[in-house]
Amino acid sequence: MRTSCLVILGSAALAAACARTQPRLASASDADVAAVTRMLTSFDSCSRTGALDVFVSYSLDDAVMLAPDQPAVEGKEAVREYYRNFWGTFNVTMRHAPTEFFSVGDLVVSRGDASGTATPKGGGQPMPFNDKFLMLFRRQADGSLKVWRVAFNTNAPPAPPVAQTR
């Protein structure tokens, strides 16, 4: 009986300790929402002006970007190269519209939409886009936030299959 009680008490104590160490989902603070909103506004400005160094300064060294139909872009310098190529090819105007913010542990998560146009610099018609995004920002020792993970893809439905002729 004594052994059973000790096992039960030990299990309860272990469960309680584990429950306390797991991060809890919470609403993002007003300060975090404001900081992320400022970053998203800056991203839009950087896209228009091609301010690559400013844009990349928001990213952590181990940042990962998941763009549609492409391999993962891993690391700050790979993100820099991706956007150097993209902004070298297109004039971009965009606007991020966040719809949700929450935090868990040292992460702040923002979900929303981004829309705009990409116009080929070599000539051609502007290509409109309407995307959704999920961004994870990691809190730094000084309390600031940096981009850690980004995933985005289109809100447009897939194109219908091409009819095959016989």
In a domain? residue 21? no
Task: Find the CATH number of the domain harbouring 47.
Answer: 3.10.450.50
Strand order in the sheet with 107-120: 25-27, 90-104, 107-120, 127-139, 145-154, 59-66, 73-74
Please say if the pLDDT value at position 1 is more than 70.
no
In a domain? residue 34? yes
Q: What is the mean pLDDT of the chain?
A: 90
Structural domain total, the chain: 1
In a domain? residue 17? no
Please say if the pLDDT value at position 3 is more than 80.
no
In a domain? residue 101? yes
- For residue range 59-102, what is the model confidence (pLDDT) as tens digits? 999 999 999 999 999 999 999 999 999 999 999 999 999 999 99
25 pLDDT band, cuts 50/70/90, is confident
Domain that holds residue 54: 26-154
pTM above 0.85, yes or no: no
In a domain? residue 142? yes
